[in-house]
Chain A
Amino acid sequence: MSAVLETSNLDKRFGGIVAASAISIAIRKGARHALIGPNGAGKTTFVNLLAGLLRPSGGEILLDGMPITNLEPHARVRLGIARTFQINQLFADLTPIETLGLAISERHGSGRDWWRIVGSRPGVTAEVSELLERFRLVDVMTERTAILPYGKQRLLEIAVAFACRPRVLLLDEPAAGVPEAERHEILATIAALPADVTVLLIEHDMDIVFSFADRISVLVNGELFVEGPPDEVARDPRVKAVYLGEALDA
């Protein structure tokens, strides 16, 4: 089994509260892995641990078998873990062009370049326009991010993570708060992500999870409860009892 991202016995305690307890998970290369669980189950905490925003109280995180547990967030990005946030974290005053151009420059290692102008590298501009097309942002590419419609901001949130060209992409509720009419655009772009990018998806919407994921982990109270292929998880009576309930019967 070739796991690209792996955790072993990952713990996180905030004072007396246990947010993650002995989570051992292996995400296969190229997987479409979904992480589900009721509110407060510790899903976002888990993503923050993987991305490096939080340090675990115990346990280990391995990327391609190499421990990354103590690396800073930016160092993990350079190794190939990028993420989106449940609540948009964007650059309000920058345009999509600048946001993506910056992410690409950083990936190329030219982010410390203080002499050349941002748009002067053909490789960067070519990739910016490719991303703008892929994530349907061409029509708003010169607008300030702050005035973009929410759905476009959500797309930019995914685009900027994708611009880091991650091997593992962590999507924290990518469709959260997006009106029904704009949802399909986001789902279509997620479905069209290249197969070699491993995706870990956190999502509440069961339709999205079951149409997208090839493997599902269920997190309850900070513990890994059940893991398996979608049909198995769907049939699991414990999962139904704890979480899915009528959502699956329907």
Chain B
Amino acid sequence: MSSQIETAVTRFLVGRARFGPFEIAFWLAAFATIYFLPGRHLILTETAIWGLFALSLDLILGYAGIISLGHAAFFGVGAYAAGLLAKHEIIVEPSIALLAAGVMAAALGFATSFLVLRGSDLTRLMVTLGVSLVCFELANKFGEITGGADGLQGITMAPVFGTYRFDMFGHTAYIYALVWLFVLFVLARRVVNSPFGLSLKAIKGNALRSSAIGIAVNWRLVAIYTLSAGYAGIAGGLLAQTQAFASLSMLSIDRSADALLILIIGGTGYLYGGLIGALIYRLLQDFLSDFSARYWQYWIGFVLIMMVLFGRVYGSIIAALIIGATIWFDLSSTTSFLVTGLSLFALGIVRERLVKWIALRERQTVNWFHRVWTGSKPAVHGRSDHVGGA
């Protein structure tokens, strides 16, 4: 009996950490693009970097519950570090230089982690935002080192491992970025499935209980914040290396907000959110700038509001319906702003009712499928929410 239970326990815990068929398919598809989409490598490189940056944010937001609006600080420090190392030929080999850039960003993460340990989400938002503003202005002020508003120019990248040159079509850059992404992803996956990763989820869920089972809560948060900063730094370094350029925009609040946006689109707490979000964001950006080149951010904003109001799936459907309608009726941008503005207003008012209606229909559909499938009624699950929070 008890050995049976033990087998079940082991299977449950180990099964969670195993690569599933979807994950394998995801990475096979990602690596297949090296051969099948050679014309898209420049864009894909950027997408992979966005994905890595969003992944770094997921490590603190999705696993430890630390919200940040200043993650670009680490991204930018990594970018400038990689750029300067290459420009002044301090570390020539790109992958070692990138690792060094990551370490520098991680050091900044460690130093500032103590500021985000305490306090509410709002405090953390403000502190992280503040740190990134400070970094931005420092880079601006010390223009003789960073190039100031003109950006860091004159970077020449040495070949990877002394062999693979960065070509102008970005093939090498893409493979380089993708391999970094994959390696760091596997590492992150390992970390979040370790006892350490589980303790982060526990802290996010209930810090009070975490300390009551002997977890040194603060040190765990310092550790993951440092790691996340290192990841962000490597993402920034990758961008600087593959573009042979670093600029103040890599430290900007826009950059931080983008990462948050991408992560919210893709979903937090399962590591793929950042990657899938980056892909969707990219496609959305492409599609929307075709459809409305000048005002594509308007539509990104619209889609985002729909997603948080109605959930990822139904929000996208509603947004797609409304955007589709403006295309169908060939509305001018002013008219379509008016239409979407009014529909935002109306949807805001009927939100509760609409959400309930959707949930009801969803349940009915699921039950219907269940009946057809099994020929029986589904069991109703009771729910009790007596779990405290700290």
Contact = CB atoms under 8 A, between A and B. Distances in A.
B377 interface: no
Nearest to B207: A89
Interface stretch (A17-25, A146-154, A221-229): A146-154
Chain A interface residue number, banded: 35 or more
A132 interface: yes
A121 to B, nearest CB: 9
Nearest to A73: B211
Nearest to A109: B214
Given A116-B194, A117-B193, A106 B209 contact: no
Contact of B202 (A91, A125, A142, A164): A91
B225 to A, nearest CB: 14
A117 B194 contact: yes
A92 interface: yes
Contacts of B202: 91, 94, 99, 102
A88 interface: yes
A84 B389 CA distance: 14
B5 interface: yes
Interface string A135-165: 0001001100111111001000000110110
A150 B385 CA distance: 8
A51 B212 contact: yes
Contacts of B13: 97-98, 101, 117-120, 125
Interface residues of B, number: 46
Contact of B387 (A82, A141, A146): A146
Given A102-B195, A114-B196, A129-B9, A74 B384 contact: no
Given A97-B9, A116-B195, A90 B388 contact: yes
A235 interface: no
Interface centre among B196, B214, B382, B389 (most CB of A within 10 A): B214
B206 A90 contact: yes
Interface string B181-210: 000000000110111111101100110110
B386 interface: yes
A113 B195 contact: yes
B330 interface: no
A146 B205 CA distance: 11
Contact of B384 (A111, A119, A150): A150
A107 B386 contact: no
A175 interface: no
Interface of A: 51, 53, 72-75, 77-78, 82-83, 85, 87-95, 97-99, 101-103, 105-107, 110-120, 125-126, 128-130, 132-133, 138, 141-142, 145-150, 153, 160-161, 163-164, 177
Closest 3 CB pairs of A and B: A119-B13, A77-B214, A105-B195
